[in-house]
Structure 1
Amino acid sequence: MAMSKFLLAFLVTVFLFISMIQAHKTVINDNGIGRDLLETKIDCGKECSRRCQLSSRQKMCLRACGTCCARCQCVPPGTSGNEDVCPCYANMTTHGGRKKCP
């Protein structure tokens, strides 16, 4: 009898531990969309080309976007705005306090 109680307690503890690990590896952004932290890295070159395609200063846009993408592993959708999807990208600033990411 004591052994079955011990086994039950052990199984419940293991289940809770696995649940905590699953909860920690998923980040939920402001839109309620989950993103797995262990997923593969995004293609920053492709995402930044899409983001900067309408920019008048493409080289500068691509350089800044590439830096932001590498640090945040996220680039907001569209060619401008939508920064609520990627808070890290939106909150990055230059030394002068201006927004870094296009």
Structure 2
Amino acid sequence: MDPLLAKAIVVAASAVGAGLAVIAGIGPGIGQGFAAGKAVEAVSRQPEAQGLVIRTLLVGCGVAETTGIYGLFIALALLFFNPLVNLL
């Protein structure tokens, strides 16, 4: 196989992989919106539990956000620091 073609295939596959990794940010966004809506409902039902509900919401959103951050890191690594291109 031509080395230039192999390099082009690796770069193209890396771009597709980066796009799929960025799509991983959609899930946490939807989940955080759903969790925030449920937290508002919980606080409206029991205003005295507001502190506990908000604390739990923030911890849950922080954990969910790491998925999006990992996806972003993988996408940037595939686009700019791809070690597979140098192996060809």
TM-score greater than 0.5 by the shorter chain? no
TM-score for the superposition, normalised by structure 2: 0.41
Answer 1 or 2: higher relative contact order, Cα 8 Å, separation at least 6. 2
Larger proportion of strand? 1
